[in-house]
Amino acid sequence: PKPLATRVAFVTGAASGIGKAIAARLAAEGACVVVADLDLEKAQAAAAELGGPDVAVGLAANVADEAAVQDALADAVLAFGGVDIVVNNAGLSLSKSLFDTTEADWDLQHDVMAKGSFLVAKNAARILVDQKLGGDIVYISSKNSVFAGPNNIAYSATKADQAHQVRLLAAELGEHGIKVNGINPDGVVRGSGIFASGWGANRAKTYGIEEQDLGAFYAQRTLLKREVLPEHVANAVYALCTPDFSHTTGLHVPVDAGVAQA
């Protein structure tokens, strides 16, 4: 049997970008996958790419709305009998400087990423605890949770919030055999809806380069001189959910091809 053959994964923001790649990798390893995203049609289309309803279902769920999160998790249990792997991936980036960031910008970033990931983790953890089978919760945080950069104060603050949620949940859920880990990606330009929807243009302007050169620009700043793609983040999520990481919780794994510390 495939390594994740008995497991059900609930992946938020999985209709696009990194989340879509995570859903694909977990499905390829045998998991049944719930693609949860804002738009039902997009979620269903992404699920259909993974296989039939025995393999993947697409659900509409705004992670910032607790009732919607609870409905989606209940539908996941109805579809596949439980939930074992939860990936908090849904997100957006407004990429604004300190003085351009409005109260509404701050609230939106925090509603989706800080509050949204908390609501998903809390309601999913209830199911995991009751199942008594352990499980995995993985947050897709960001390098920006640790390192400061220009023009993303609200985004980075929510990513730091997510990083601390990982530590707090690891402490609270450990006794139930539930591991909680985070991934800190950086520079995933190709395949990312965030970059396509204006963030890329903004970043390129910040660095004084053309938008189409952004992937290569990020790559040459890394220690490994490699471009980070959505599947590299997905590989790390998969690894954390395997028995090879059975004794790892509260960890943040960088998937950024290496950041110079000097």
Using rule CB under 6 A, residue 13 touches ligand NAD: yes
CA 202, 261, 109 angle in degrees (round to 5)? 35
Interface with ligand NAD includes 38 (CB under 6 A)?
Answer: yes
Q: Which is nearer to ligand NAD, 64 or 173 (CB)?
A: 64
Task: For CA atoms 223, 226, 228, 231, give the dihedral sign.
Answer: negative
Q: First CA to last CA across the chain, in angstroms?
A: 46
In this complex, which beta carbon is closest to ligand NAD, that of residue 4 or of residue 119? 119
Told to judge if 155 belongs to the known catalytic residues of this protein, a careful annotator would answer yes
Closest separation between CB of residue 117 and ligand NAD, Å?
8
User: Is 194 near ligand NAD (CB under 6 A)?
Assistant: yes
Choose, by CB under 6 A, the member of 19, 58, 135, 200 that binds ligand NAD.
Answer: 19
CA dist., res. 147 & res. 128, Å (int): 32
In sequence order, what are the residues at sequence separation of 6 or more whose Cβ sits closer than 8 angstroms to the Cβ of residue 178? 125, 128, 129, 134, 135, 136, 137, 169
User: Could you say which of 64, 94, 119, 229 contacts ligand NAD (CB under 6 A)?
Assistant: 64
Q: Which of 58, 135, 182, 185 binds ligand NAD (CB under 6 A)?
A: 185
How big is the CA angle at 233 (ends 115 and 8), to the nearest 5 degrees?
Answer: 70
- CB-wise, 125 or 234, nearer to ligand NAD? 234
Residue from 155, 207, 218, 238 carrying the catalytic annotation: 155
152 forms part of the interface with ligand NAD (CB under 6 A): no
Least Cβ distance, residue 183 to ligand NAD (angstroms): 8
Q: Dihedral sign, CA of 212, 236, 145, 108?
A: positive
**Least separation in angstroms between CB 112 and ligand NAD:** 4
Shortest distance, position 79 Cβ to ligand NAD, whole Å: 18
We find the least distance from the C-beta atom of residue 116 to ligand NAD, in angstroms, to be 6
Among residues 91, 182, 200, 215, which is the contact residue for ligand NAD, using CB under 6 A?
91
* 239-243-249 Cα angle (round to 5): 75
Q: Which residues contact 151 (CB under 8 A, 6 or more apart)?
A: 95, 96, 97, 202, 203, 206
**Which residue, chain included where needed, has tokens 């910008």?**
105
- Find the binding residues for ligand NAD in span 114-133 (CB under 6 A): 116
Amino acid at 135: G
Exposure class string for 148-176: b at 16+ Cβ within 10 A, else e:
eeebbbbbbbbbbbbbebbeebbeebeee
Residue 140 makes contact with ligand NAD by CB under 6 A = yes
The catalytic residue positions are 155
Binding site residues, ligand NAD, CB under 6 A: 12-13, 15-19, 37-38, 61-64, 89-93, 112, 116, 140, 142, 185-188, 192-195
